[in-house]
């Protein structure tokens, strides 16, 4: 089924053209996005993703014309346009239409795209990237801002050139920040560990949820500075993020890894939690 697109109060064809070379967002990247998931009508924490889209827009000094709950309603309508069992990615976005050196906040527009995207169910390989996450005084790291993503895709392409699927990215201090597109976790002796939030990467919504679920289940979760050496020495490595939810690392550099008990329990807990978020 073709993607569905919403803009300016109406549903458009999937090939609708919304920007051009005179738009500030097209020229200067004054745009943000967020991503929700619908998995057979289950959309866990969709309201939080909608709220974060608004917060991201404000973080780059845009003036979002919609609230989180209003975006949520549009997302649910988009989901309803697909078959009930569809696995979807739902992507709300804000962008500036006008401006020169700086965007005109009053020109902020909203659009949303929803499209079929199967939930990844396989593990992935990863290596260390030469790219690093910028510090909070170097980029709008508190927003899901489009300007941050060339760094991510360059890191992925670098990893692919080496025969890996993804990469571990360090922060500006040399500690592990995250994977290129999701938060990083390790398991060691039954303890779950994930890098402490330090302003160089987003405190993911799925990350926060998994922390809460694991702690409620009696599993110790430690948020701290993590070195790449600790990742290499871990019993298990996995990620959390909206697109794939939880995915295990099966190869890290030259080391083969298995799906570990922390990952497997976290996945069980998360998808049990997701059952409470049926929107259709």
Architecture of the domain defined by 4-116: 2-Layer Sandwich (3.30)
Residue 197 reports pLDDT greater than 90: yes
CA–CA gap between residue 240 and residue 206 (Å, rounded): 6
pLDDT more than 70, % of the chain: 100
Q: What is the pLDDT of residue 276?
A: 96
How confident is the model over 96-125, as a mean pLDDT?
A: 97
Mean per-residue pLDDT for 110-127?
97
Please tell me the predicted confidence (pLDDT) of residue 16.
85
Token output for 247 = 């995915």
Res. 15: pLDDT tops 90: no
Place of tokens 């996995």: 238
Over residues 62-93, the pLDDT tens digits come to 999 999 999 999 999 999 999 999 999 999 99
What is the sign of the dihedral through the CA atoms of 49, 55, 56 and 62?
Answer: positive
Phi and psi, residue 252, nearest 5°: -125, 115
Q: What is the mean pLDDT of residues 100-104?
A: 96
Residue 13 has pLDDT above 90, yes or no: no
Instruction: Return the CATH fold of 124-274.
Output: D-amino Acid Aminotransferase; Chain A, domain 2 (3.20.10)
Q: Which two tokens stand for residue 34?
A: 């967020």
How many angstroms separate the CA atoms of 243 and 149, rounded?
15
For the chain, residues classed under CATH 3.30.470.10 are 4-116
Written in H, E and C, the secondary structure of the chain is: CCCEEEECCEEECCCCCCCCCCCHHHHHCCEEECCEEEECCECCCHHHHHHHHHHHHHHCCCCCCCCHHHHHHHHHHHHHCCCCCCEEEEEEEEEECCECCCECHHHEEEEEEEEECCCCCCCEEEEEEEEECCCCCCCCCCCCEHHHHHHHHHHHHHHHHCCCCEEEEECCCCCEEEECCCEEEEEECCEEEEECCCCCCCCCHHHHHHHHHHHHCCCCEEEECCCHHHHHCCCEEEEEECCCEEEEEEEECCEECCCCHHHHHHHHHHHHHHCCCECC
**Contact assessment for residue 206 and residue 177, using Cβ atoms and an 8 Å cutoff:** no
Parts of the chain belonging to CATH 3.20.10.10: 124-274
Average pLDDT, stretch 124-139?
A: 97
The dihedral built from the CA positions of residue 242, 243, 245 and 249, taken in this order, carries a sign that is negative
Residue 121 forms beta bridges with which residues? none
User: How does the average pLDDT of the chain come out, rounded?
Assistant: 97
What is the distance between the alpha carbons of residues 33 and 59, in angstroms, rounded to a whole number? 12
For 18-63, what is each residue's pLDDT tens digit? 999 999 999 999 999 999 999 999 999 999 999 999 999 999 999 9
Residue in the structure block whose two tokens are 């975006």: 71
Percent of the chain with pLDDT over 90: 97
């Amino acid at each position: 089924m073709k993607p569905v697109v919403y803009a300016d109060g109406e549903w458009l064809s999937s090939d609708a053209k919304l920007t051009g070379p005179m738009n500030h967002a097209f020229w200067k990247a004054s745009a943000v996005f967020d991503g929700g998931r619908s998995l057979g009508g289950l959309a866990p924490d969709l309201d939080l993703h909608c709220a974060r889209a608004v917060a991201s827009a404000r973080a780059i000094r845009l003036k979002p014309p919609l609230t989180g709950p209003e975006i949520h309603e549009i997302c649910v309508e988009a989901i309803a346009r697909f078959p009930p069992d569809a696995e979807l990615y739902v992507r709300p976005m804000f962008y500036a239409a006008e401006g020169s050196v700086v965007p005109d906040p009053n020109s902020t527009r909203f659009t949303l795209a929803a499209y079929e995207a199967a939930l990844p169910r396989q593990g992935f390989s990863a290596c260390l990237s030469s790219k690093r996450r910028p510090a909070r005084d170097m980029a709008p790291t508190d927003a899901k801002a489009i300007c941050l993503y060339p760094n991510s895709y360059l890191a992925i392409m670098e990893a692919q050139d080496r025969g890996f699927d993804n990469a571990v990215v360090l922060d500006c201090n040399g500690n592990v920040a995250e994977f290129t597109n999701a938060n990083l976790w390790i398991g060691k002796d039954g303890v779950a560990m994930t890098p402490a939030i330090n302003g160089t990467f987003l405190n993911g919504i799925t990350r926060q949820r998994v922390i809460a679920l694991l702690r409620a289940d009696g599993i110790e979760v430690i948020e701290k500075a993590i070195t790449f050496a600790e990742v290499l020495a871990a019993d298990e490595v996995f990620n959390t993020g909206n697109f794939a939810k939880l995915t295990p690392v099966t190869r890290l550099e030259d080391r083969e890894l298995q799906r570990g008990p922390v990952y497997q329990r976290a996945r069980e807990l998360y998808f049990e939690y997701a059952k409470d978020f049926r929107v259709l």
